Amino acid sequence: MNARQIARLGLFGALWGVVEISLGAALQAAHVPMRGTLLAAIGITVALVGAAFVPRRGALLTIGLVAAALRLFGLSGPAISSVVAIAIEALLAEACLAAFGYRRCRASYVIAGAAAVLWDLFHPGLGALIIGGPGMVASFWRAANKAAQALHLPDSAPAALMVTLGLLRLAVGSAAGWTAHTLVQQLRRRFALDDA
Amino acid sequence: MAAAALARSHEVWPAFCVIVALSGVVEVRSLRRLTGRGFLAFAVVSAGLMALSGEPGGWAAAGPLVARGGMVVVGFGALADRASPAALEALAGRVRLRGFGLALGIALNSLDALRGTATDTWHALRLRGATRAGLRRAARLYAVALLGAVLTRADAVAVAAVSRGCDRRGERIPAAEPATVADRLVGLLAWLPALALLLRRAGAF
């Protein structure tokens, strides 16, 4: 890997980190709903664009790990949940790109974006599993079913809600992947950039 | 984290003791997080909620919750306090992620500049009337301008890195700072609760 590729990985990782730190703080202060999904979508778009200009195996994962490390060494103290989420999102997107043999087709970008952003749905579950133990996720599910009964909703309401939220995240992630591919094409045209 | 997630209720406290002991050996300062305001607030709120919930055992049922939280806080603290960029580079090198240390160094040095670029780009586009063309078009123009600026900056950083000899192969990674005798002593003391618990389970007393 040459210095140009490493510089690109570092700077795109830094950009993802800036998004997480600056925009994340602003969204949290404004109590914006689904801010994790929004941050994941923007972050994975940045990472996919960056990885497109460093055609090497593990480029996207490196960008994600740099962003996660910036959260780890951040001035505001390590944010455990964010660090883990960024690393897992990058890993999922890298795995999707690898499954497509690192071909730069739009489909691979869309699937990588969708997989990364979908993780946002399961991340709180991982947190509950870690803090509450194996029984906690089942307890949440029972509580959701009781809440549905109390609200006179059908028994399938919690599952339907989960599916809806999952589809929403898949749509946002797919849009992020699609946007990343479009941006890569525009950047190549406008700046006559090559692959370093 | 795996220990916190996988431990069953009767295994939580032994696992907590082992994690605290191991974290104490890796990085003694991480144990301070157990007396931090954030963790104490988590413990008090958990105990209060469990007491109000009317669960059998009352507030004492919050113990396993607090222990799991403690495992995560201490274990992650040990990683955050002990891990340096050089250590992370060594770890990344072992999993074939070459150049991670230099990329992280570049990222750390570029954070403020990137933040400034992001703000300046937005103001420049606004002054040129890009926002009047609709939010979607403005967002696209902003993304292209910002990502283009990042790619251009990467070229400049690469030239600077090469001129400083940062791309030399086989460069040795600096060794981690050695632990002092006091560090090791505290680390050994941190093992005592785990040892006591193991001996108790084995029926020694």
Q: Which residue has the higher pLDDT, A151 or A91?
A: A91
| A84 at interface of B, judged by CB pairs closer than 8 A | yes
- pLDDT computed for residue B170 by the predictor: 45
DSSP code for A48: H
Of the pLDDT bands very low, low, confident and very high (cuts 50, 70, 90), residue B173 is: very low
What is the C-alpha to C-alpha distance for residues A36 and B14, in angstroms, rounded to an integer? 34
| Contact between chains at B80 and A73 (C-beta distance less than 8 A) | yes
Task: Give the pLDDT confidence of B68-100 residue by residue, as tens digits.
Answer: 777 777 777 776 666 666 666 666 666 666 678
What is the distance of C-alpha A8 from the center of its chain?
19
Of the pLDDT bands very low, low, confident and very high (cuts 50, 70, 90), residue B34 is: confident
Long-range contacts of the stretch B144-149 (C-beta < 8 A, 24+)? B144/A183, B144/A186, B144/A187, B144/A190, B145/B121, B146/A15, B146/B117, B146/B118, B146/B121, B147/A46, B147/A49, B147/A183, B147/A187, B148/A187, B148/A190, B148/A191, B149/B117, B149/B121
| Contact between chains at A135 and B9 (C-beta distance less than 8 A) | yes
Nearest to A11 among B98, B100, B153 (CB): B153
Does the pLDDT value for residue B53 go beyond 80?
Answer: no
Report yes or no: A130 and B72 within 8 Å, Cβ to Cβ.
yes
Does the pLDDT value for residue A17 go beyond 50?
Answer: yes
Q: What residues in B contact A67, CB-CB < 8 Å?
A: 107
Task: Give the pLDDT confidence of A161-193 residue by residue, as tens digits.
Answer: 888 989 999 999 999 999 999 999 999 888 766
The interface predicted TM-score (ipTM) is 0.83
Task: Give the pLDDT confidence of A23-76 residue by residue, as tens digits.
Answer: 887 887 788 888 889 999 999 999 999 999 998 888 999 999 999 888 876 655
The segment with the largest mean pLDDT, out of A18-22, A46-50, B31-35, is A46-50
| B167 at interface of A, judged by CB pairs closer than 8 A | yes
Name the residue among A48, A92, A90 with its Cα closest to residue A184: A48
State the smallest CA–CA distance between residue A11 and chain B in angstroms. 5
The segment with the largest mean pLDDT, out of A67-71, A144-148, B25-29, B179-183, is A67-71
- pLDDT computed for residue B160 by the predictor: 85
Tokens of B40: 């104490």
Percent of chain A with pLDDT over 90: 41
| Contact between chains at B108 and A7 (C-beta distance less than 8 A) | no
C-alpha distances out from residue A45 to A85, B121, B150, B169, Å: 15, 18, 14, 31
- pLDDT computed for residue B91 by the predictor: 66
Percent of chain A with pLDDT over 70: 90
| Contact between chains at B102 and A3 (C-beta distance less than 8 A) | yes
| Contact between chains at A133 and B92 (C-beta distance less than 8 A) | no
What's the mean pLDDT in B110-116? 87
Top residue of A12, A15, A53 to mutate, by most chain B CBs within 10 Å, is A15
Task: Give the pLDDT confidence of B140-170 residue by residue, as tens digits.
Answer: 899 999 999 999 999 898 888 888 776 655 4
| Contact between chains at A12 and B167 (C-beta distance less than 8 A) | no
- pLDDT computed for residue B58 by the predictor: 62
Interface of A with B in 143-172 (CB under 8 A): none
| Contact between chains at B152 and A191 (C-beta distance less than 8 A) | yes
DSSP count for chain A of H helices, then E strands? 8, 0
Give the Cβ contact number of residue A154 at 10 Å: 10
